[in-house]
Every structure is written in C-alpha cells, then in structure tokens.
Structure 1
Amino acid sequence: MPTVPTSRAARWGALALLVRPTYIAAEFVTAAATTGGYSFVADSVSRLGEVGCSAAYCSPRHEVMNGSFIGFGMLMAGGALLLARPLGPWVTGLLVVSGASSVATGLAPLDQDATLHAIAATPLFFAQPMALIVLGARIRREQPRLGSALLATGAVTAAAAVGFVLTPEGTASGALERLALWPVLFGLAGFAWTQRRR
C-alpha cells in the first residue's frame, strides 16, 4: 500500500513536538544561576520561575524558565493542532489543554500568586498522561511497540503526578514532578518522529 505523503502542516507539527525535549535544557540553565541552593530532587520546577529574590533563594534567570513554560506550551498546542488527524480529536484536545496550561503557568509565577499558579498548572498533570494513554491505545494495532511504550509512559507519568500532588515540598517532590513531565516530552517526540514521512 503506498505511503500517503505528509502535509506541510503535519511536518511542522511533528517538528514542534520533536524539539520539545530541549525544554529540559532550560531547567538546567535556569537552575545553574540560582543562589541559595536548588535541588532537582526536592524542589519544584516552579521555583525556578519565581520572580522575587531573598537572601535565602533567588532565581535570576526566571525569565528563561517562565518563557520556556510559555514557548514550549505553545509548541505542544500548536503541534497537536497541526497533527490533529493522526492524533485524533481526544488526544488533540488533551494536548491543547496541556499546552494552554503550560502557557498559563508561565504567566503566573509561583511567588506572585500561589493559588493562581496552582490553578494554571493543574490541568497539565492530568491531561498529559491521559493524552499518552489514549494515543497509545489508538495506535497500538498499527504501531505495537510505540503504542505500548506510550501506554506505559502514560501510566508512569500519571502515578508520578499523583505522587507529586501528595508529596510535601522539600522531600522528593521535585523528582516526582519531573517524572510526571519529562517522559511526556520524549513520548510525544517518538510519535512525532513516526509522522515525518507517513
């Protein structure tokens, strides 16, 4: 059966999801400039976006982190919309919600309004794992390895998200948050890779 050429829009959508793993570099760049000590295991990602400084802690590159929340959130939402046909309506909708949540998180730094920040960030932790699980189930017959990997990643990130919500700040909350977020970057990039020339 001949391969259906990928549209230009879909290629751009795939590219948008393929570059998203570089988000991790933004965390390291921002964390490297903090003063007062920052732990990837104990501290939340949102602390890197705190605007205010004190003698105990400061994140001088908070613009990098908040800008990354916004930029990479837009890439997620935009990439999903451009890949709406292979993703399907449910996955597309969940990823658009996730992207919008990320953008809102960047616009509402933690130390400026903790309640607004929590409201902005919460949908991301639920919508992303659901998107991976639905996508994995959707493609499992045609792409069994990738489908199974996405299902497993969705389950792991969902469990980590619940653990992050229930774990007090300063213990292993930072590690759990990253386990809830980082694998999604690679899961979606793996799917995008298969869509480049389909």
Structure 2
Amino acid sequence: MPALPTRAARLGALAFLLRPTYVLTEVVTAAATRGGYSFVSDSVSRLGEVGCTPDYCSPKHAVMNGSFIGYGVLLAGGAALLARPLGPWVTGLLVVSGASSVATGLAPLDQDATLHAIAATPLFVGQPVALLALGHRLREERPVLAKGLLVTGLVTGAAAVGFILSGDEQVGGALERLALWPVLGALAAYAWPHARRRTG
C-alpha cells in the first residue's frame, strides 16, 4: 500500500496545485497593456517591463513581476515540501527553477536585459530536465503519469530551445509559453494524489 501523504507533502502538493493560476496573471497584465501585446509574438517578460514608451506600456508590470516571484516561491517551496517523494535530483532542479523565477521578477527585462536573461535561463533548463527525471522515477509506480511527464519534458525542452533561438521573432511568445505553461499542469497532475488525505 502506498504511504500516506505527510502534512508537509500535502502542503507542497497544494502549492503545485495553485500554480496553474499563474496563467491568469499573464492574461490580466496583458489586458491592461497599451500599444498592443501578442501572446504569440511577444515574450512574457515584456509584461514585466517597468518603463513606458510612446509605443508600448505595461501599467500592471508589478502584477507580472510579483507573479514571477510569488509563483517561483510556490515552485521552490512546494518542491522542498515534496522532497521525499520527488527525490533529491528532481527537488533540486525545481528549487533552482523556482529561485530562477524569483530572480526574474526582481530583474525586469527593460532594466537590465543581460541580468534578466541570466536570471531566467535556469528556469527554462531546470523544469524540462526535472520532468524527464520525474517521469523516469515514476515509470513503474505511475506509468501513465510517467509517460505524460516524459512527453511534457521533451515538448517543453524543445520549445525552450526554440524560444532561445527565435528571440522575439514571430512566434517567440508562443514558444515561450509552450515551454512554461504545460509544466504547470504536469506538476499539478503529479501533486494531486499527495494533496488528498487517504485512509486505510
């Protein structure tokens, strides 16, 4: 019989289950922009730009940057609380990814583009690798989920490479979101059983 989830594991699972709401912060921030914003061609980071130009402004940039920080804390904290079932490698990768998200929120793109890129890179590397490692870890215990995690890891990893290579051209925003958004659902699917109180 699988071990009952501990209180720490349930709290960590709750953190992962809350993270898909991150998408709403992008929608809210994008809706408030002036000058036009495209989810297909514009990067997420443009929503966090602090300064305004005659052509573009993101008045709710604080919402976006705060979201990077808050949801990064949920990722790192959730992983730490779920460290036992996740295993040390997956936990470490997700904690680093969460810290990267926090750093991204503290270094807006238009304030220092180089620092912003350095801050964000571990997130794009760490999350796909974590999903691949977690899928491998669960291949016997939860085979269906394991396959889903492996596929998601491959897709998000390929999208991350595509985003980095494409820069801000044409479909850069779509590739970036393909690298980020599926991870939210994948980790929530993993977390769901850990969030429930099970009785013998």
TM superposition score category, shorter chain reference: over 0.9
Alpha-carbon distance in 1 for matches of 2:92, 2:167: 31
1:195 is paired with a residue of what secondary structure? Answer: helix
Q: 1:129 maps to which residue? A: 128
Could you give the per-residue CA deviations for residues 94-114 of structure 1, whole angstroms, max 9, x where no partner exists?
000000000000000000000
Amino acid in structure 1 at the alignment position of 2:141: E
Please report how far the alpha carbon of residue 196 of structure 1 lies from its aligned counterpart in structure 2 after TM superposition: 2.1
Question: Any unmatched runs of 5+ in structure 2?
Answer: none
CA offset digits 1:121-171 (Å, max 9, x no partner) = 001000000000000000011101000000000000000000000003131
Matched with 2:6 is 7
TM-score by length of 1: 0.98
Aligned residues: CA RMSD: 0.9
The residue aligned with 2:23 is 24
**2:53 alignment counterpart:** 54
Identity %: 73
With normalisation by structure 2, the TM-score equals: 0.97
Alpha-carbon distance between aligned partners in 2 of 1:86 and 1:52, rounded to the nearest angstrom: 43
Unaligned runs of 5+ in 1: none
Query: 4+ runs of 1 displaced by more than 6 Å?
Result: none
Which string of whole-angstrom CA distances, capped at 9 and with x for unpartnered residues, describes residues 12-49 of structure 1? 00000000000000000000000001000000000000
Counterpart AA for 2:135: G
Aligned to 1:66: 65
Q: Secondary structure at the match of 1:19?
A: helix
- Render the CA deviation track for 1:28-75: whole Å, top value 9, x for unaligned: 000000000100000000000000001100000000000000000000
1:1-198 alignment, distance < 5 Å: 1=1, 3-197=2-196
